[in-house]
Amino acid sequence: MGDPACYRDYCPACDAQVTITDGECPDCGTSLESSGRRTD
C-alpha cells in the first residue's frame, strides 16, 4: 500500500528533501546509500 517514492527523507549533508528511493541528493550529489540512513 503506497508508493515508496512518497516517503520523504532529508539529505544529511545539505538538508534538502529527498525521496527514500533517491540514490544521491539531487541538490548536492551526496550519496544517500552510505549516509547512515535507515533502509528497512
How much is the pLDDT for 3? 59
pLDDT by residue for the chain (40 residues), tens only, comes to: 565 556 888 999 999 999 888 889 999 999 987 545 554 4
Q: Report how many domains make up the chain.
A: 1
d(CA 13, CA 32): 9
d(CA 25, CA 19): 9
Looking at the chain, the number of H-run helices and the number of E-run strands are 0, 2
How much is the pLDDT for 17? 93
- Which domain, by its residues, includes 24? 1-40
The cell numbers describing 11, all together, are 539529505
How much is the pLDDT for 35? 47
Burial of 5 (0-12, 13-18, 19+ CB in 10 A): exposed
